[in-house]
Amino acid sequence: MSFEELEQDPFDTHEFVERLAWRTMGTKARSQHDEFDPMLLHGAFEQMISDLKQKNRMVQQRVDKLEDECKEEEKKHWSRVVDLQRNNQTAYSHFEGLAERISVVATKVVHLGDQLEGVNTPRARAVEAQRLMSYLSEFFTDEPPKSAIFKEDNQLQLAAEIIQKLHMIALELPSTEKFNKARTKIAHKYDEIEDKLIKDFCKGHHNGDKRKMKRCASVLSNFKGHGRCIDTFIEETQKGSFISPDPFSEVFPLCKRSNELIQEVFTNPDMVMGKLVQNIYITKLQTFIQSKLDDQSDPEQYLKDFFDMYTRTSKLSSDLSQFKIGNDSSFLPKMSKVIFQKHLDNYISFEIKYLNERCGAILQRYYDGKNHQKKQIQSGGLSELRRDLQAKIGTMNVNINIGPTVENYGGETFLSQEVSINVLQETKQAFKRCQMLSGGSDVPENAVKILDILIKYLVLEHIDYAVEVGLQAIPVSEPKVAPEIYFFDTVQQANTLFHLFEKQFMDSAVPLFLSTPLYADCLHRKRELRDNLESKIDTGLDRAVTSICNWVRYILTSEQKKKDFLPDDDSVLAQMGTPASAKVVRFLSGQHSMIRDNMDGKNVEIVLLELGTRLHRIIYDHLTQFSYNSLGAMLVICDVNEYRKCVKDFELPLVSQLFEKLHALCNLLVVVPENLKQVCGGDQLTGLDKSVLLSFIQLRADYRSAKLATVLNYNNK
């Protein structure tokens, strides 16, 4: 085996031993156990162990030799480090000496410079003073200045520098006739040179010569007419602009172009840019805006224009804020306030007045289109009692008026989705205007004022009024004719419109006062409106269900005869029910369809559940008033079966179960006496009290003759 296998990475001891054994024994010993020679394997292992020990000694010798070499190299390395440190210390000492010499030389140079300056400065000042005195002397004569700098245009900037200094000297001269004359001539020349500089500046502007503009502006910065230079630049910049009817589209591009030029030309670009923007806002935008807003004859158009102008101005200010305009960060918002101030002061009062008129007109136009005059409706228990009494008096042909009569307006609900959407749209736009046009602290209060208008016209004047009218239109509790109930349609529309109100409340109004105490007050008020509406709807639904049930009771009472369930001829069975029950089923089917068509969600389930349970009570009580022979029992079973089919469409398990029980009770009227006790204990009648079963069995015509009480043994229990 080669020792190279020991240097493999990774090295596996178990595999090494296995390979050694395999090579020693060969394949024959592995397949034939008789050929296995343990001593051969033992000898191979001993030989390998001896070889490994020898190999180990050789490796250890190499390791020792490498360690000695490493130690020797380390000693040499540290020796070199010591030499380098010694050399570095020497170099540092040399550098310190050089630095001291440089410092001494620098001190001498500064001292020499100060001495030279001390000699040169007075000399230069004297030369400058002599030069100025020479120029000044020219203004004390009666002739105009003769120096070339005042005559040659190419020396205009030098002349400007001289005349500016002479102007300052002239201000210090005594106020005598001699000096006043010179002072006047200097002032005249000062104005002349200033005008020339401004003309040169304009010429450079026209020619696009930025270097000339910059030189002129720099010189004029020390003149009184520097402001004139800026005004001229602003005027020249705007030439050829603002030709279109809409100035807003031109402001930003103009300012962007001008800002690049201003940064290159003027030494105080922020101030110049501020004056340019101020000039555009005051002379161009304000004029345009006032022409739009001065006419307030059309309030709707005025508010639209106001909102549009203010929004566009705010956006323009936001766009211009990328430029450096002075040191006041609120400069642009202040400019906007200046332009719109008188309109902003009166905004909310104008808004409230417009909304009141607009929403009132929308509602009035709707009611006029319906030929309806809104009435003052009284609600409450006393009003309802007077209405019911008036209905009863009306059936007696007596001309006595003690309360309102029932009027259904031909099924009109007086609720309009179009009207509601118009009111919601108006107030939605008002909320947007309120957020934009109101001052920061006034937004919550102004938003609540707009919300009050929305509540007044949509919730109270429209939805609540329609529900009140619908309540008055519900037939009386004991009708003598088939009731026409349109209140279900009113409920569906009222809920839909109130949901629209709640959505706008959350989407448009709440964000404007969410973080203020007004939020809790408004939320509480909305809940009160919802509770009030639901209370009136519940009252109306209860009245509607009562009217339906009492009409069913009236039909059964007035059209169901005692003899209907004691027939002698089995031909009555061909009718599959009595006429009274058929009339009831037709009426209930129509009411059920109306409820399904005009209501949704839980309201349908609640109303049908109440209607179904009341109907069961009425029909049960009605059936217990009759006596039944065998044919009559079959007939009443047919009636109940029709009732059961009718209420099955309600899709309410509880109501279906009630009528299933009633149907099972009616089966007791046809069961032969021998099976009666068995049927009473059946699954269909489980849960019913025995007194209920007995009371129904007692309705059988053969109850006494067949001695059913004895058969049932009920008397002993």
How far apart, in whole angstroms, are the C-alpha atoms of residue 504 and residue 425?
9
Q: Is residue 339 part of a domain?
A: no
How far apart, in whole angstroms, are the C-alpha atoms of residue 462 and residue 468?
10
Burial of 231 (0-12, 13-18, 19+ CB in 10 A): middle
Cβ-proximal residues to 56 (8 Å cutoff; 6+ apart), any chain: none
**Prediction pTM value:** 0.69
* 106 and 166, same domain (yes or no): no
How far apart, in whole angstroms, are the C-alpha atoms of residue 203 and residue 220?
15
Q: Is residue 543 part of a domain?
A: no
- Report the domain count for the chain: 4
CA 599 to chain centre: 31
* 167 and 133, same domain (yes or no): no
* 319 and 192, same domain (yes or no): yes
The pair of structure tokens assigned to 580 is: 């009274």
* 621 and 700, same domain (yes or no): yes
Quote the DSSP letter at residue 141: S
* 194 and 284, same domain (yes or no): yes
Q: Which residue has the higher pLDDT, 33 or 443?
A: 443
The pair of structure tokens assigned to 446 is: 């102004």
The pair of structure tokens assigned to 254 is: 């103009």
Question: What is the reported pLDDT for 394?
Answer: 45
Question: What is the reported pLDDT for 376?
Answer: 78
Q: Inform me whether the pLDDT recorded for 151 exceeds 70.
A: no
CB atoms within 10 A of CB 369: 10
For the segment 173-187, the average pLDDT, to the nearest whole number, is 66
Most confident of 34-38, 112-116, 197-201: 197-201
Which CATH number is 574's domain given?
Answer: 1.20.58
Question: What is the reported pLDDT for 393?
Answer: 47
Determine the 3-state secondary structure of 111 from DSSP. helix
* 164 and 121, same domain (yes or no): no
Q: What are the CB-based long-range contacts (under 8 Å, 24+) for 239-245?
A: 242/284
Domain finish residue from 83, 114, 137 = 137
Length of the chain: 717
Beta bridge partners of 700: 628
* 355 and 303, same domain (yes or no): no
* 112 and 193, same domain (yes or no): no
Q: Which amino acid appears at position 321 of this protein?
A: S
For the segment 678-687, the average pLDDT, to the nearest whole number, is 76
Model pLDDT for residues 399-449, shown as the tens digit of each residue: 444 445 567 677 888 899 999 999 999 999 999 999 999 887 899 999 999
Question: What is the reported pLDDT for 453?
Answer: 95
The pair of structure tokens assigned to 59 is: 């490796």
* pLDDT band for position 31 (cuts 50, 70, 90): low
Question: What is the reported pLDDT for 261?
Answer: 86
Beta bridge partners of 628: 700
586 with 646: CB under 8 angstroms? no
Q: Which residue has the higher pLDDT, 124 or 618?
A: 618
How far apart, in whole angstroms, are the C-alpha atoms of residue 488 and residue 468?
13
Domain finish residue from 104, 137, 170 = 137
* 627 and 483, same domain (yes or no): no
Host domain of residue 195: 149-328
* 50 and 81, same domain (yes or no): yes
Q: Is residue 410 part of a domain?
A: yes
The pair of structure tokens assigned to 318 is: 């936001």
Q: Is residue 378 part of a domain?
A: yes
Most confident of 144-158, 381-395, 438-452, 619-633: 438-452
* 361 and 243, same domain (yes or no): no
